[in-house]
Amino acid sequence: MNDTRYSVIRLKPKTNARAIRHGAPWVYDNELVTDRRTKAIAPGSVAVLEDADRQPLGLVGVNPKSRIMARMLDRDVDAVIGQDWLREKIAAALTHRDRLFPDPFYRLIHAEADGLPGVIIDRFGDTAVIQPNAAWADVLLGEMVDALVAASGVTTVIKNASGRARALEGLDEGVEILRGQVEGLIPVPMNGAVYMADLLGGQKTGLFYDQRPNHAFGATLAKGARVLDVFSHVGGFSLAALSGGAERALAVDGSAPALALAAQGAEAMGVGERFETRQGDAFDVLAAMGEEGATFDVVICDPPAFAPNKGALEAGLRAYERVAKLAAPLVAEGGYLGLCSCSHAADLDKFRRASTRGIGRAGRASHLIHTGFAGPDHPQHPALAESGYLKALFYRLIP
């Protein structure tokens, strides 16, 4: 047993220890014996998790303030959770990404699937952005930054402490430069396009790498096409389409700063004259375009998570159906409609049924031609459905 003398937490007798032994990475507060001693453990502490018979299951990061009270760190109770351990995890993840991508622009750490639960690290060349969305990672952030620099060679590290995940952990918010310096926007090459990432003021880490393969597929449909990219953020699908030979592309988003970044990306690519933006609520813009009789050869909608949890599922599915119903009339005969969801609560089957129903309610017939997911730098944890959150459906609308 590790002589670091970690605290011990224990499963209740009726908790399914087999699931944890078989890889489940989370333990909820109602599955643990939560006596006064357990509740007094400082958030972010490392502890030994035992089953009801006092047999060790592994080392966990503990947060009594969170519903997910324990996150599995290592099955070996003799492991030492520190800088060396962190460097090994990051180096293993880096080996995978180096095999996948010629340039250092990717998600380097995808939380539980890369062995660092609750931790997101996106890499932008020599700069990395960390989201420590679990208390244990917040406590060990200094060691994590040192390990990241040692393993990857990045010179600038930014902490992005924002979003729903940190709130659920009872953690504070804010953006902070932890190492190095940031000078303006970072151009990110991806799928032949150039995206401008604002690492200090943009959404999440500054750019969404997860849609990379779906951007690429959308680009294959775009040669010579008129493309509409709704909920475009910094031009994800529209700039990829232009790099694929689209005749024109129109990006729609509610954020003026995001559209400005998209326009800068188009200029950096030398396709600014073929790119337009329209700011406004996406639902309102879709409805207005329908009234205007506008049509496009390719329409792609990539909204935010309408169903971030089970409680929001039904309302979220209605929203996805509405997007499909409003977007389908804008697709020319024989054109293509792409619909995306990043809601883990809406599984693929539910999302597909809502989208297909919306297309049908618009009076359009369709073929489903392609189903896409997040790229391989966003691996799925096989025992954690939440890690497979992204779905992209591409339909051909037929007479």
> Looking at residue 202, what is its pLDDT?
74
> Looking at residue 1, what is its pLDDT?
46
Rg of the chain's alpha carbons, rounded to an integer? Answer: 23
> Looking at residue 204, what is its pLDDT?
75
From CA 72, how far away is CA 54, in angstroms rounded?
17
> Looking at residue 3, what is its pLDDT?
47
Contact, 72 vs 25, CB < 8 A?
A: yes
Contact, 193 vs 164, CB < 8 A?
A: no
> Looking at residue 51, what is its pLDDT?
96
Nearest to 233 by CA among 270, 262, 264, 209: 262
> Looking at residue 312, what is its pLDDT?
94
Task: Name residues of the chain where pLDDT drops below 50.
Answer: 1-3
Nearest to 33 by CA among 58, 17, 52: 52
What is the reported pTM?
0.94
> Looking at residue 205, what is its pLDDT?
80
Domains and CATH numbers, the chain: 7-74 (2.30.130.10), 83-179 (3.30.750.80), 186-398 (3.40.50.150)
- Segments in the chain forming alpha helices (H): 17-21, 36-39, 83-100, 135-139, 141-152, 164-168, 212-220, 236-243, 256-269, 282-292, 313-327, 348-361
Tally the residues of the chain: 399
> Looking at residue 165, what is its pLDDT?
83
Per-residue pLDDT tens for 326-375? Answer: 999 999 999 999 999 999 999 999 999 999 999 999 999 999 999 999 99
From CA 357, how far away is CA 336, in angstroms rounded?
16
As a dihedral over the C-alpha atoms of residue 168, residue 122, residue 263, residue 271, rounded to 10 degrees, the angle is -150
